Amino acid sequence: MNRRRFLLLALLLAFSPVARADDTYTRTEDVVYGRKHGLALTMDVFTPKENANGAGVIFVVSGGWISGHQSINPAFLAELLRRGYTVFTVVHGSQPRFTIPEAIADLNRAVRFIRTHADDYKVDPDRLGITGLSAGGHLSLMQGLAGGGGKADSPDPVERASSRVQAVACFFPPTDFFNYGKPGEEALGNGTLHDFRAPFDFNEFNPETKTFERIADPNRRREIGRQISPITHVSPDDPPTLIIHGDADKLVPFQQAEILIDKLQAAGVEAKLVTKPGAQHGWNKLPDDMKLVADWFDEHLIKKQPEKE
C-alpha cells in the first residue's frame, strides 16, 4: 500500500493539470554536476526567457528516495518559472542502488555546483531555495538544516563552495526516523516504512576487502539514522522553512511536520506549517499549492534580501 501511494503521487505530478510553460523558458537537459562510481550525476536547468528575478530554486526529484530524469515534469514548475525563478531539477543517486546518506551527498554536490556556476546561470549564489515532495522534501530539509561550508583545501573548486541554501519550502517530508508518528517509533526501513528498506540499507567501504559491506551494528545504524533525520540538525541559523502537509497522511505522519516546525520555532527560526485538512500523501489539487511555495520564496529570496554593497 505504501509503495502504491508513492506511485500514485508520481503519476499525479507527471500528469498535473498545470498550464504548460514551454514558450516562457529554455530547458538545458542532463547538466553533469558530479560523477561517482563511473556514473554521471545530472540535473535539468529551466531558465525563464523573460522576467528572470536572479534567484534560483532547486527542485529535488525524489519519491521514496527513487530519482530519475523521467520524473521531471516541467508543468509542475510553471508557477516558479512564471515568477522568474531559474529552476534546477536535481536527480540524485536512486535507491535501491544508493542509500539516503549517498543521496544527501549528491544534493550537497548539486548545490555547490550551482553556486560555483551561479554567474553562468545568472543567479545570485546567495539567493538559493530548495523544494521537493515526500522524500524530496526530506532531502530539501537536510540541505536546509545540515548544509555546510565548503572544503577550503579541496583541489576541486566546486567542493570549496558552500552547500547552504537560503530558504526551504516542501511537502509532507519525513523529519525524525526515531519518533515516526509517535514518540519512540523507529522507521529506518521498518515499521511504517517497511516497504522502503533499500534506502536505509547503509553500507561502507572496507579497505581490506575492497568491498562495500552492509552496516549491521544497531548502534551504528541508529547513529546514521540520527544524522539523516532533519530534526537532529535544527539550529538558530537555519533558513526560513515552510512545510505543507495533509493531516490524514498515513505514510508520512502529520506529526512529522508538527515536531520539526515546533523545534525550529523554539530555536528562533522562521517556520510555518500549512495544514491540508483531510489530505493524505498527496492530493488532487496539489500542484495549485506551488503558489504557496512560490510565495514563500518571493518573501525570503526576493523581498527580504539585504542590499549588497
The single residue listed with the C-alpha cell 515516526 is 180
How high is the pLDDT of residue 18? 37
How high is the pLDDT of residue 305? 61
Cell readout for 161 is 563552495
Q: The sheet that has 39-48: what strands, in order across it?
A: 25-36, 39-48, 86-91, 56-61, 128-133, 167-171, 241-246, 271-276
Q: How far is CA 42 from the centre of its chain?
A: 15
Closest CA to 110 of 181, 61, 52: 61
Q: What is the dihedral of CA 251, 254, 257, 260, to 10 degrees?
A: -100
How high is the pLDDT of residue 17? 38
How high is the pLDDT of residue 15? 40
Domain ranges for the chain = 2-303
Helix H or strand E encompassing 30: strand 25-36
Cell readout for 129 is 531555495
**Can you tell me the distance from the alpha carbon of 110 to that of 104, in angstroms, rounded to the nearest whole number?**
10
Q: Is the dihedral of CA 259, 260, 263, 266 positive or negative?
A: negative
Paired strand residues for 26:
47
**pTM attached to this predicted model:** 0.91
How high is the pLDDT of residue 306? 53
Cell readout for 10 is 508520481
How high is the pLDDT of residue 251? 97
Q: Can you list the residues of the chain whose pLDDT is less than 70? A: 1-22, 304-309
* DSSP strands (E only) in 142-279: 167-171, 203-206, 211-214, 241-246, 271-276
Cell readout for 115 is 553556486
Backbone φ, ψ for residue 115 (5° rounding)? -65, -40
Closest CA to 131 of 99, 107, 103, 106: 107
**CATH class name, domain 2-303:** alpha beta
How high is the pLDDT of residue 22? 63
